[in-house]
Amino acid sequence: MKTKILWLALVPIVIMMGSLSQAQETPRTGGTLTYATGTDALTLDPQFVTDVPTSRVVMQIHETLVKYDLDMKIIPCLAESWTTSADQLTWTFKIRRGVKFHDGTPLNAEAVKYNFDRMIDPAIASPRKSNIVMVKDTKVIDEYTFAVTTNKPFAPLLAQLSSYNISIMSPTAAKKLGKNYSQAPAGTGPFKLESWTRGEKTVLARNENYWGDKTYLDKLTIRIVPEDSTRVMLLLSGEADVIASVPPVLTERLKQSKDVKILRKMGFRTIYVGLNCTIKPFTDVRVRRAVAHAINPDAIVNGILSGMATTGGSFESPVIPGAIQGLKPYPYDPARAKKLLAEAGFPNGFTTAFYTPTGRYLMDRQVSEAVQAQLKEVGINAEIKAPDWATQIALLDKGTEVPMFLMGKGSPTGDLDFTLNLTIKTKGLMNHFQYSNSKVDALIGEQEGIIDTKKRYQALSDIQKIIYDEVPGVVVFYEDQIFGTRANVNGVGLYPYEFVEFAKAWKR
Protein backbone atom coordinates (compact mmCIF):
# COMPACT_ATOMS: atom_id res chain seq x y z
CA MET A 1 0.00 0.00 0.00
CA LYS A 2 1.34 3.41 -0.90
CA THR A 3 1.69 5.82 1.98
CA LYS A 4 -0.45 8.91 1.68
CA ILE A 5 0.95 11.99 3.38
CA LEU A 6 -1.72 14.55 4.10
CA TRP A 7 -0.72 18.18 4.41
CA LEU A 8 -2.74 20.94 6.01
CA ALA A 9 -1.62 24.52 6.35
CA LEU A 10 -3.72 26.10 9.06
CA VAL A 11 -6.90 24.26 9.92
CA PRO A 12 -6.28 21.30 12.26
CA ILE A 13 -8.30 18.20 11.58
CA VAL A 14 -8.31 14.60 12.66
CA ILE A 15 -7.06 11.96 10.27
CA MET A 16 -8.38 8.47 10.71
CA MET A 17 -5.86 5.82 9.76
CA GLY A 18 -6.88 3.43 7.03
CA SER A 19 -7.76 3.70 3.38
CA LEU A 20 -11.21 4.45 2.04
CA SER A 21 -11.72 0.87 1.00
CA GLN A 22 -10.86 -0.32 4.50
CA ALA A 23 -13.22 2.24 6.04
CA GLN A 24 -16.06 0.63 4.06
CA GLU A 25 -15.33 -2.77 5.55
CA THR A 26 -17.40 -4.06 8.44
CA PRO A 27 -15.27 -3.55 11.56
CA ARG A 28 -14.16 -6.75 13.23
CA THR A 29 -14.92 -7.10 16.92
CA GLY A 30 -12.42 -8.68 19.26
CA GLY A 31 -8.70 -9.01 19.70
CA THR A 32 -5.95 -7.02 21.41
CA LEU A 33 -4.19 -4.01 19.92
CA THR A 34 -0.64 -3.30 21.09
CA TYR A 35 0.48 0.33 21.13
CA ALA A 36 4.18 1.05 21.74
CA THR A 37 5.15 4.45 23.07
CA GLY A 38 8.33 5.99 24.47
CA THR A 39 7.40 6.89 28.04
CA ASP A 40 5.06 5.52 30.67
CA ALA A 41 2.12 7.29 32.25
CA LEU A 42 3.11 9.08 35.44
CA THR A 43 -0.35 8.83 37.01
CA LEU A 44 -3.88 7.70 36.19
CA ASP A 45 -5.45 10.54 38.18
CA PRO A 46 -6.60 13.18 35.65
CA GLN A 47 -6.12 16.02 38.12
CA PHE A 48 -2.40 15.22 38.36
CA VAL A 49 -1.65 14.80 34.65
CA THR A 50 0.97 17.20 33.30
CA ASP A 51 2.20 15.46 30.13
CA VAL A 52 0.77 14.03 26.91
CA PRO A 53 1.85 10.37 27.19
CA THR A 54 0.04 10.22 30.52
CA SER A 55 -3.05 11.94 29.11
CA ARG A 56 -3.22 9.42 26.26
CA VAL A 57 -3.76 6.65 28.81
CA VAL A 58 -5.98 8.61 31.18
CA MET A 59 -8.35 9.69 28.40
CA GLN A 60 -9.04 6.11 27.30
CA ILE A 61 -10.43 5.61 30.82
CA HIS A 62 -12.05 8.97 31.53
CA GLU A 63 -14.22 11.54 29.75
CA THR A 64 -14.96 15.26 30.01
CA LEU A 65 -18.17 17.28 29.96
CA VAL A 66 -17.44 18.44 26.42
CA LYS A 67 -14.86 17.38 23.84
CA TYR A 68 -13.60 18.12 20.34
CA ASP A 69 -15.07 16.27 17.37
CA LEU A 70 -13.24 15.26 14.19
CA ASP A 71 -13.41 18.85 12.89
CA MET A 72 -12.03 20.33 16.12
CA LYS A 73 -15.40 21.72 17.15
CA ILE A 74 -16.66 21.46 20.73
CA ILE A 75 -19.44 18.88 21.05
CA PRO A 76 -21.32 17.28 23.96
CA CYS A 77 -19.83 14.37 25.87
CA LEU A 78 -20.87 13.81 29.49
CA ALA A 79 -22.86 17.03 29.22
CA GLU A 80 -25.64 16.69 26.65
CA SER A 81 -26.15 20.44 26.26
CA TRP A 82 -25.40 23.81 27.86
CA THR A 83 -26.61 27.39 28.01
CA THR A 84 -24.97 30.68 28.97
CA SER A 85 -26.52 33.46 31.05
CA ALA A 86 -27.09 36.93 29.56
CA ASP A 87 -24.12 38.34 31.49
CA GLN A 88 -21.96 35.47 30.19
CA LEU A 89 -20.93 34.51 33.72
CA THR A 90 -22.98 31.36 34.36
CA TRP A 91 -22.84 28.24 32.23
CA THR A 92 -25.51 25.60 32.88
CA PHE A 93 -24.90 22.01 31.77
CA LYS A 94 -27.41 19.20 31.34
CA ILE A 95 -25.66 16.00 32.44
CA ARG A 96 -26.12 12.86 30.36
CA ARG A 97 -28.49 10.35 31.99
CA GLY A 98 -27.91 6.63 32.35
CA VAL A 99 -24.11 6.82 32.55
CA LYS A 100 -22.18 4.81 35.14
CA PHE A 101 -18.55 4.95 36.22
CA HIS A 102 -16.45 1.80 35.99
CA ASP A 103 -17.14 1.04 39.66
CA GLY A 104 -20.91 1.22 39.13
CA THR A 105 -21.42 4.69 40.64
CA PRO A 106 -24.00 6.67 38.64
CA LEU A 107 -23.00 9.91 36.90
CA ASN A 108 -25.01 12.93 38.04
CA ALA A 109 -24.58 16.62 38.82
CA GLU A 110 -23.32 15.85 42.34
CA ALA A 111 -20.54 13.69 40.88
CA VAL A 112 -19.51 16.49 38.53
CA LYS A 113 -19.47 19.05 41.33
CA TYR A 114 -17.37 16.72 43.46
CA ASN A 115 -14.69 16.67 40.75
CA PHE A 116 -14.54 20.48 40.60
CA ASP A 117 -14.37 20.69 44.40
CA ARG A 118 -11.66 18.02 44.55
CA MET A 119 -9.49 19.88 42.07
CA ILE A 120 -9.19 22.91 44.34
CA ASP A 121 -9.00 20.92 47.58
CA PRO A 122 -5.69 21.78 49.32
CA ALA A 123 -5.57 18.27 50.76
CA ILE A 124 -5.46 16.79 47.25
CA ALA A 125 -2.97 19.43 46.02
CA SER A 126 -3.58 19.03 42.30
CA PRO A 127 -0.77 20.64 40.29
CA ARG A 128 -3.41 21.75 37.80
CA LYS A 129 -5.90 23.45 40.12
CA SER A 130 -5.11 26.72 38.38
CA ASN A 131 -6.98 25.32 35.37
CA ILE A 132 -10.26 26.27 37.01
CA VAL A 133 -9.09 29.40 38.77
CA MET A 134 -11.64 31.32 36.69
CA VAL A 135 -14.49 29.43 38.40
CA LYS A 136 -16.14 31.46 41.14
CA ASP A 137 -18.82 28.95 42.08
CA THR A 138 -20.33 25.59 41.11
CA LYS A 139 -23.87 24.54 41.88
CA VAL A 140 -26.09 21.48 41.61
CA ILE A 141 -29.42 22.70 40.22
CA ASP A 142 -31.04 19.28 40.19
CA GLU A 143 -29.94 15.66 39.75
CA TYR A 144 -28.81 16.19 36.16
CA THR A 145 -28.21 19.94 35.98
CA PHE A 146 -24.89 21.53 36.94
CA ALA A 147 -23.91 25.20 36.82
CA VAL A 148 -20.53 26.93 36.69
CA THR A 149 -20.18 30.64 37.46
CA THR A 150 -16.96 32.42 36.47
CA ASN A 151 -15.38 35.52 37.99
CA LYS A 152 -15.69 37.35 34.67
CA PRO A 153 -16.78 36.51 31.14
CA PHE A 154 -14.36 33.76 30.19
CA ALA A 155 -14.09 33.12 26.45
CA PRO A 156 -12.12 29.83 26.56
CA LEU A 157 -14.29 28.05 29.17
CA LEU A 158 -15.55 25.22 26.94
CA ALA A 159 -12.05 24.63 25.57
CA GLN A 160 -10.80 24.49 29.15
CA LEU A 161 -13.47 21.97 30.13
CA SER A 162 -12.37 19.70 27.28
CA SER A 163 -8.96 19.32 28.94
CA TYR A 164 -7.89 15.96 30.33
CA ASN A 165 -7.34 17.55 33.75
CA ILE A 166 -11.06 18.21 34.07
CA SER A 167 -12.09 14.65 33.31
CA ILE A 168 -14.84 13.33 35.54
CA MET A 169 -13.91 10.58 38.03
CA SER A 170 -16.12 8.42 40.20
CA PRO A 171 -16.55 10.25 43.53
CA THR A 172 -16.81 6.86 45.23
CA ALA A 173 -13.38 5.76 44.01
CA ALA A 174 -11.80 9.18 44.48
CA LYS A 175 -13.02 9.50 48.08
CA LYS A 176 -11.97 5.97 48.93
CA LEU A 177 -8.50 6.15 47.41
CA GLY A 178 -7.61 9.84 47.70
CA LYS A 179 -4.12 10.44 46.29
CA ASN A 180 -3.93 6.71 45.53
CA TYR A 181 -6.72 6.96 42.96
CA SER A 182 -4.31 5.72 40.26
CA GLN A 183 -4.46 2.25 41.82
CA ALA A 184 -8.04 1.74 40.66
CA PRO A 185 -9.23 4.62 38.45
CA ALA A 186 -12.94 4.67 37.68
CA GLY A 187 -13.98 6.91 34.83
CA THR A 188 -16.81 6.61 32.33
CA GLY A 189 -14.61 5.97 29.28
CA PRO A 190 -14.78 3.19 26.69
CA PHE A 191 -11.84 1.34 28.30
CA LYS A 192 -11.21 0.43 31.93
CA LEU A 193 -7.96 -0.44 33.66
CA GLU A 194 -7.07 -4.12 33.88
CA SER A 195 -3.45 -3.80 35.00
CA TRP A 196 -0.56 -1.34 35.15
CA THR A 197 3.03 -2.56 35.43
CA ARG A 198 4.99 0.65 35.80
CA GLY A 199 7.71 1.13 33.25
CA GLU A 200 6.56 -1.88 31.23
CA LYS A 201 2.94 -1.90 30.13
CA THR A 202 -0.65 -0.94 30.83
CA VAL A 203 -3.53 -3.20 29.86
CA LEU A 204 -6.99 -1.72 29.27
CA ALA A 205 -10.14 -3.78 28.71
CA ARG A 206 -13.41 -2.94 26.96
CA ASN A 207 -15.97 -1.23 29.21
CA GLU A 208 -18.95 -3.51 28.66
CA ASN A 209 -21.25 -1.00 30.33
CA TYR A 210 -20.17 2.01 28.25
CA TRP A 211 -22.97 4.47 27.56
CA GLY A 212 -21.95 4.98 23.92
CA ASP A 213 -20.73 2.64 21.21
CA LYS A 214 -18.58 -0.05 22.79
CA THR A 215 -15.03 -0.60 21.57
CA TYR A 216 -14.36 -3.20 18.90
CA LEU A 217 -11.21 -4.26 20.71
CA ASP A 218 -11.32 -6.61 23.66
CA LYS A 219 -8.14 -5.09 25.03
CA LEU A 220 -5.61 -2.32 24.45
CA THR A 221 -2.04 -3.01 25.60
CA ILE A 222 0.27 -0.01 25.94
CA ARG A 223 3.93 -1.05 25.93
CA ILE A 224 6.72 1.24 27.09
CA VAL A 225 9.59 1.18 24.59
CA PRO A 226 11.92 4.21 24.95
CA GLU A 227 14.19 3.38 22.00
CA ASP A 228 12.88 4.68 18.66
CA SER A 229 14.53 1.94 16.60
CA THR A 230 13.14 -0.77 18.85
CA ARG A 231 9.60 0.52 18.37
CA VAL A 232 10.09 0.45 14.61
CA MET A 233 11.34 -3.14 14.75
CA LEU A 234 8.35 -4.16 16.85
CA LEU A 235 6.04 -2.66 14.24
CA LEU A 236 7.81 -4.40 11.35
CA SER A 237 7.76 -7.75 13.15
CA GLY A 238 4.08 -7.41 14.07
CA GLU A 239 4.74 -7.38 17.82
CA ALA A 240 3.26 -3.87 17.92
CA ASP A 241 0.19 -2.72 16.01
CA VAL A 242 0.71 1.03 16.46
CA ILE A 243 3.84 2.97 17.41
CA ALA A 244 4.36 6.60 18.40
CA SER A 245 7.16 8.97 17.36
CA VAL A 246 8.55 7.23 14.31
CA PRO A 247 12.09 8.57 13.69
CA PRO A 248 12.15 10.41 10.33
CA VAL A 249 15.33 8.57 9.34
CA LEU A 250 13.41 5.29 9.50
CA THR A 251 10.25 6.36 7.68
CA GLU A 252 11.69 5.39 4.29
CA ARG A 253 12.26 1.88 5.55
CA LEU A 254 8.68 1.65 6.76
CA LYS A 255 7.36 2.96 3.44
CA GLN A 256 8.99 0.00 1.71
CA SER A 257 6.99 -2.49 3.76
CA LYS A 258 3.55 -3.50 2.51
CA ASP A 259 2.68 -4.52 6.06
CA VAL A 260 2.74 -1.05 7.62
CA LYS A 261 1.32 2.44 7.13
CA ILE A 262 2.71 5.84 8.13
CA LEU A 263 0.77 8.90 9.23
CA ARG A 264 2.40 12.32 9.38
CA LYS A 265 0.47 15.29 10.77
CA MET A 266 1.61 18.67 12.05
CA GLY A 267 0.41 19.06 15.60
CA PHE A 268 0.18 21.64 18.34
CA ARG A 269 3.53 20.87 19.97
CA THR A 270 6.51 23.23 20.09
CA ILE A 271 9.93 21.76 20.86
CA TYR A 272 12.20 24.31 22.52
CA VAL A 273 15.36 24.83 24.53
CA GLY A 274 14.18 26.28 27.84
CA LEU A 275 16.29 28.70 29.85
CA ASN A 276 15.76 29.25 33.58
CA CYS A 277 15.61 33.03 33.94
CA THR A 278 16.51 32.87 37.65
CA ILE A 279 19.71 30.82 37.26
CA LYS A 280 22.86 32.62 36.13
CA PRO A 281 23.91 33.37 33.47
CA PHE A 282 20.38 33.10 32.00
CA THR A 283 19.21 35.93 34.24
CA ASP A 284 20.73 38.18 31.55
CA VAL A 285 18.58 38.55 28.44
CA ARG A 286 21.73 39.06 26.37
CA VAL A 287 22.83 35.54 27.24
CA ARG A 288 19.42 34.16 26.34
CA ARG A 289 19.53 35.97 22.99
CA ALA A 290 23.04 34.64 22.43
CA VAL A 291 21.69 31.10 22.82
CA ALA A 292 18.95 31.93 20.30
CA HIS A 293 21.49 33.16 17.73
CA ALA A 294 23.73 30.13 18.36
CA ILE A 295 21.04 27.55 17.55
CA ASN A 296 20.37 26.71 13.91
CA PRO A 297 16.83 25.23 13.69
CA ASP A 298 17.00 24.64 9.93
CA ALA A 299 20.14 22.53 10.27
CA ILE A 300 18.51 20.45 13.01
CA VAL A 301 15.25 19.92 11.12
CA ASN A 302 16.98 19.02 7.86
CA GLY A 303 19.90 17.11 9.37
CA ILE A 304 18.27 15.25 12.25
CA LEU A 305 14.59 15.11 11.25
CA SER A 306 14.97 14.74 7.48
CA GLY A 307 12.91 17.88 7.01
CA MET A 308 9.90 16.39 8.79
CA ALA A 309 9.16 19.34 11.08
CA THR A 310 8.45 23.07 10.76
CA THR A 311 10.55 25.96 12.07
CA GLY A 312 9.27 29.24 13.47
CA GLY A 313 9.81 31.83 16.15
CA SER A 314 6.60 31.84 18.19
CA PHE A 315 6.19 29.55 21.19
CA GLU A 316 2.79 28.62 19.78
CA SER A 317 2.46 26.22 16.85
CA PRO A 318 0.94 28.14 13.91
CA VAL A 319 -1.89 25.61 13.52
CA ILE A 320 -3.35 26.59 16.92
CA PRO A 321 -6.10 29.22 16.65
CA GLY A 322 -4.73 32.52 17.97
CA ALA A 323 -1.08 31.70 17.28
CA ILE A 324 0.88 34.50 15.64
CA GLN A 325 1.69 33.77 12.00
CA GLY A 326 4.99 34.29 10.23
CA LEU A 327 7.26 34.97 13.20
CA LYS A 328 10.71 33.77 12.13
CA PRO A 329 13.34 32.10 14.33
CA TYR A 330 16.19 34.24 15.60
CA PRO A 331 18.75 34.40 12.74
CA TYR A 332 21.51 31.83 13.09
CA ASP A 333 24.49 34.12 13.75
CA PRO A 334 27.38 32.69 15.82
CA ALA A 335 29.31 35.98 15.59
CA ARG A 336 26.36 37.88 17.03
CA ALA A 337 26.03 35.24 19.76
CA LYS A 338 29.68 35.65 20.77
CA LYS A 339 29.32 39.44 20.82
CA LEU A 340 26.30 39.23 23.11
CA LEU A 341 28.11 36.81 25.43
CA ALA A 342 31.07 39.19 25.65
CA GLU A 343 28.76 42.11 26.42
CA ALA A 344 27.19 40.04 29.20
CA GLY A 345 30.63 39.33 30.71
CA PHE A 346 31.31 35.91 29.17
CA PRO A 347 33.88 36.50 26.42
CA ASN A 348 35.09 32.92 26.83
CA GLY A 349 31.65 31.43 27.18
CA PHE A 350 30.51 29.31 30.12
CA THR A 351 29.51 25.80 31.19
CA THR A 352 25.97 24.77 32.08
CA ALA A 353 23.88 21.62 32.55
CA PHE A 354 21.50 20.77 29.71
CA TYR A 355 18.69 18.34 30.60
CA THR A 356 17.07 16.26 27.89
CA PRO A 357 14.44 13.49 27.80
CA THR A 358 14.96 10.29 25.85
CA GLY A 359 12.01 8.88 23.94
CA ARG A 360 9.49 11.53 24.98
CA TYR A 361 9.71 13.67 21.83
CA LEU A 362 10.72 12.98 18.26
CA MET A 363 14.44 12.08 18.32
CA ASP A 364 14.83 14.23 21.41
CA ARG A 365 18.26 12.98 22.48
CA GLN A 366 19.69 13.47 18.99
CA VAL A 367 18.19 16.97 18.82
CA SER A 368 19.78 17.83 22.16
CA GLU A 369 23.15 16.59 20.97
CA ALA A 370 22.88 18.78 17.86
CA VAL A 371 22.00 21.80 20.01
CA GLN A 372 24.94 20.95 22.26
CA ALA A 373 27.32 20.96 19.27
CA GLN A 374 25.98 24.29 17.99
CA LEU A 375 26.31 25.96 21.39
CA LYS A 376 29.88 24.74 21.71
CA GLU A 377 30.78 26.72 18.59
CA VAL A 378 30.13 29.97 20.48
CA GLY A 379 31.79 28.88 23.72
CA ILE A 380 28.81 27.47 25.61
CA ASN A 381 29.65 24.05 27.05
CA ALA A 382 26.26 22.42 27.59
CA GLU A 383 26.75 19.21 29.57
CA ILE A 384 23.89 16.83 28.75
CA LYS A 385 21.97 15.24 31.61
CA ALA A 386 19.42 12.58 30.64
CA PRO A 387 17.40 11.39 33.65
CA ASP A 388 14.23 9.37 33.17
CA TRP A 389 11.14 11.36 32.27
CA ALA A 390 9.60 11.38 35.75
CA THR A 391 12.87 12.59 37.31
CA GLN A 392 13.27 15.36 34.74
CA ILE A 393 9.75 16.61 35.40
CA ALA A 394 10.34 16.54 39.17
CA LEU A 395 13.56 18.53 38.80
CA LEU A 396 11.92 21.06 36.49
CA ASP A 397 9.04 21.50 38.92
CA LYS A 398 11.47 22.50 41.67
CA GLY A 399 12.41 25.53 39.61
CA THR A 400 15.93 25.80 41.03
CA GLU A 401 17.72 22.73 39.67
CA VAL A 402 17.67 22.92 35.88
CA PRO A 403 19.32 25.86 34.06
CA MET A 404 18.77 24.65 30.48
CA PHE A 405 16.47 21.95 29.14
CA LEU A 406 14.86 20.49 26.04
CA MET A 407 11.10 20.29 26.37
CA GLY A 408 7.90 20.38 24.37
CA LYS A 409 4.73 22.39 24.85
CA GLY A 410 1.46 21.21 23.41
CA SER A 411 -2.07 22.57 23.68
CA PRO A 412 -4.55 20.04 25.07
CA THR A 413 -7.46 22.49 24.78
CA GLY A 414 -6.61 23.99 21.37
CA ASP A 415 -6.70 27.41 23.03
CA LEU A 416 -3.65 29.47 24.01
CA ASP A 417 -5.06 30.53 27.38
CA PHE A 418 -4.50 27.12 28.93
CA THR A 419 -0.78 26.89 28.25
CA LEU A 420 -0.07 30.60 28.74
CA ASN A 421 -1.34 30.32 32.30
CA LEU A 422 0.64 27.16 32.90
CA THR A 423 3.94 27.91 31.20
CA ILE A 424 4.35 31.70 30.90
CA LYS A 425 2.36 33.42 33.64
CA THR A 426 4.36 34.27 36.76
CA LYS A 427 4.47 31.20 39.02
CA GLY A 428 2.58 29.11 36.47
CA LEU A 429 2.80 25.48 37.54
CA MET A 430 4.73 24.53 34.39
CA ASN A 431 6.65 27.80 34.08
CA HIS A 432 9.97 25.96 34.13
CA PHE A 433 11.60 29.08 32.72
CA GLN A 434 10.78 30.87 36.00
CA TYR A 435 9.83 33.72 33.67
CA SER A 436 7.99 36.72 35.08
CA ASN A 437 6.64 39.81 33.31
CA SER A 438 3.87 41.88 34.84
CA LYS A 439 2.70 43.20 31.44
CA VAL A 440 2.41 39.65 30.10
CA ASP A 441 0.53 38.58 33.23
CA ALA A 442 -1.92 41.46 32.74
CA LEU A 443 -2.44 40.68 29.06
CA ILE A 444 -3.09 37.01 29.86
CA GLY A 445 -5.82 38.10 32.25
CA GLU A 446 -7.29 40.63 29.82
CA GLN A 447 -7.57 38.26 26.84
CA GLU A 448 -9.66 35.81 28.84
CA GLY A 449 -12.49 38.32 29.08
CA ILE A 450 -12.42 39.48 25.44
CA ILE A 451 -15.35 37.82 23.71
CA ASP A 452 -14.60 39.39 20.31
CA THR A 453 -12.28 36.82 18.69
CA LYS A 454 -10.33 39.31 16.54
CA LYS A 455 -9.57 41.56 19.50
CA ARG A 456 -8.68 38.60 21.69
CA TYR A 457 -6.25 37.27 19.09
CA GLN A 458 -4.57 40.69 18.95
CA ALA A 459 -3.94 40.53 22.69
CA LEU A 460 -2.58 37.00 22.28
CA SER A 461 -0.32 38.24 19.49
CA ASP A 462 1.07 40.97 21.75
CA ILE A 463 1.90 38.36 24.40
CA GLN A 464 3.73 36.16 21.90
CA LYS A 465 5.81 39.08 20.62
CA ILE A 466 6.96 39.97 24.14
CA ILE A 467 7.92 36.37 24.86
CA TYR A 468 9.86 36.25 21.59
CA ASP A 469 11.79 39.38 22.54
CA GLU A 470 12.62 38.28 26.09
CA VAL A 471 13.63 34.72 25.12
CA PRO A 472 12.76 32.52 28.11
CA GLY A 473 13.45 29.76 25.63
CA VAL A 474 14.40 29.16 22.02
CA VAL A 475 11.99 27.46 19.63
CA VAL A 476 13.70 24.66 17.72
CA PHE A 477 10.73 23.37 15.70
CA TYR A 478 7.05 22.49 15.71
CA GLU A 479 6.81 18.74 15.99
CA ASP A 480 5.12 16.65 13.34
CA GLN A 481 3.25 13.68 14.69
CA ILE A 482 4.62 10.61 12.94
CA PHE A 483 2.90 7.33 13.78
CA GLY A 484 3.16 3.91 12.29
CA THR A 485 0.49 1.21 12.16
CA ARG A 486 0.22 -2.29 10.80
CA ALA A 487 -1.66 -2.41 7.50
CA ASN A 488 -4.50 -4.35 9.11
CA VAL A 489 -5.18 -1.69 11.75
CA ASN A 490 -8.09 0.69 11.19
CA GLY A 491 -9.96 3.41 13.01
CA VAL A 492 -7.16 4.85 15.14
CA GLY A 493 -7.82 8.58 15.59
CA LEU A 494 -4.91 11.01 15.71
CA TYR A 495 -5.79 14.51 16.91
CA PRO A 496 -3.61 17.63 16.43
CA TYR A 497 -3.61 18.21 20.19
CA GLU A 498 -1.86 14.81 20.43
CA PHE A 499 -4.61 12.61 21.77
CA VAL A 500 -4.63 9.16 20.18
CA GLU A 501 -8.07 7.56 20.20
CA PHE A 502 -8.48 3.80 20.22
CA ALA A 503 -12.23 3.64 20.96
CA LYS A 504 -13.02 2.96 17.30
CA ALA A 505 -9.89 0.97 16.43
CA TRP A 506 -10.13 -2.54 15.01
CA LYS A 507 -7.94 -5.09 13.27
CA ARG A 508 -8.65 -7.02 10.08
The HSE-up count of residue 24 (CA atoms within 13 Å, CB side) is 3
**Is residue 221's pLDDT more than 90?**
yes
Strand-pair partners of 196? 202
Q: What digits encode the pLDDT tens for the residues 227-241?
A: 989 999 999 999 999
Q: What digits encode the pLDDT tens for the residues 133-189?
A: 899 999 999 999 999 999 999 989 999 999 999 999 999 999 999 999 999 999 999
Under DSSP, the state recorded for 178 is G
Largest CA distance in the chain: 69
**Is residue 16's pLDDT more than 60?**
no
Question: Can you give the pLDDT at residue 18?
Answer: 42
Question: Can you give the pLDDT at residue 10?
Answer: 34
Can you tell me the distance from the alpha carbon of 14 to that of 465, in angstroms, rounded to the nearest whole number? 29
**Is 496:265 a contact under the CB 8 Å cutoff?**
yes
The larger pLDDT score, comparing residue 45 to residue 248, is at 45
Q: What digits encode the pLDDT tens for the residues 88-139?
A: 999 999 999 999 999 999 999 999 999 999 999 999 999 888 889 899 999 9
Question: Can you give the pLDDT at residue 15?
Answer: 39
**Is 141:175 a contact under the CB 8 Å cutoff?**
no
Element spanning 209, H or E: none
Can you tell me the distance from the alpha carbon of 504 to that of 216, in angstroms, rounded to the nearest whole number? 6
Question: Can you give the pLDDT at residue 362?
Answer: 84
Burial class (CB in 10 A: 0-12, 13-18, 19+), 449: middle
- When pLDDT is averaged across residues 398-413 and rounded to a whole number, the result is 94
Burial class (CB in 10 A: 0-12, 13-18, 19+), 335: exposed
Range list of β-strands (E), 7-96: 15-16, 32-37, 66-68, 74-76, 79-84, 90-95
Element spanning 310, H or E: strand 309-310
Strand 260-275 to 404-409 pairing: antiparallel
**Phi/psi zone of residue 286: left (φ > 0), alpha (ψ -120 to 50 degrees), beta?**
alpha
Burial class (CB in 10 A: 0-12, 13-18, 19+), 123: exposed
Which domains occur in the chain, in start order? Answer: 18-44+189-259+487-507 (3.40.190.10), 63-179 (3.90.76.10), 269-480 (3.10.105.10)
Can you tell me the distance from the alpha carbon of 467 to that of 471, in angstroms, rounded to the nearest whole number? 6
pLDDT-based confidence at residue 409 (cuts at 50, 70, 90): very high
pLDDT-based confidence at residue 444 (cuts at 50, 70, 90): very high
CA distance to 28, 35, 230, 231, per residue, from 235 (Å): 21, 9, 9, 6
User: The whole model's pTM is what?
Assistant: 0.76
Nearest to 410 by CA among 41, 15, 55, 48: 55
Can you tell me the distance from the alpha carbon of 328 to that of 441, in angstroms, rounded to the nearest whole number? 24
- When pLDDT is averaged across residues 247-261 and rounded to a whole number, the result is 89
